Amino acid sequence: MPKITPFLWFDDQAEQAMNFYLSIFKDSKVLSINRYGDAGPGPKGGVMTASFELNGQVFTALNGGPVYKLSPAISFVVHCETQAEVDHYWEKLSAGGKPNQCAWLDDKFGVTWQIVPNILIELLSDPDPVKAGRVMQAMLKMTKIDIDTLKLAYAQS
């Protein structure tokens, strides 16, 4: 078990959220599901926590009721190598959710994700501020990131 694990608070959708994420990410699995007993506070037999792994990252989801809400102040970055990978995660995670600007989206459970091609970081880090600036301007016009458009902006003379 890693020392630090993201812990997600849901009203009553922890198991549904876990299953949704497991269906999207390869190399994923359920680690454990703990259920409420007689002592509550949730309904007896209902899911209290669900621990799962997505591509080597462990998460825990809690059915804690409507006390707290998820916020974009915390998000998860999915690093992608190809446009096909960007398209896959964008399509799956945004289904029923809300796309936002510059690679950000909120999924149908309210969890915020960033679907980021690695080349974006590479191009934005170029020592030539003019090239990096063109890439930044191109990115600011996007919701889902388009790698070819970034490359065109970078290569302009």
Q: Assign 40 a pLDDT band (cuts: 50, 70, 90).
A: confident
Superfamily of domain 70-157 in the CATH hierarchy: 2,3-Dihydroxybiphenyl 1,2-Dioxygenase, domain 1 (3.10.180.10)
Closest CA to 5 of 66, 73, 52: 52
Residue limits of CATH 3.30.720.100 in the chain = 1-67
Contact 108, 95 (CB under 8 A): yes
Mean pLDDT of 133-137: 98
pLDDT in tens, 99-120: 999 999 999 999 999 999 999 9
Query: CATH 3.10.180.10 residue ranges in the chain?
Result: 70-157
pLDDT tens digits for range 55-109? 999 999 999 999 999 999 999 999 999 999 999 999 999 999 999 999 999 999 9
CATH class of segment(s) 1-67:
alpha beta
pLDDT of residue 2: 77
Average pLDDT taken over every residue of the chain: 96
Q: How many beta carbons lie within 10 A of that of residue 1, not counting itself? A: 6
Q: What is the pLDDT of residue 140?
A: 98
Q: Tell whether the model's pLDDT for residue 1 goes beyond 80.
A: no
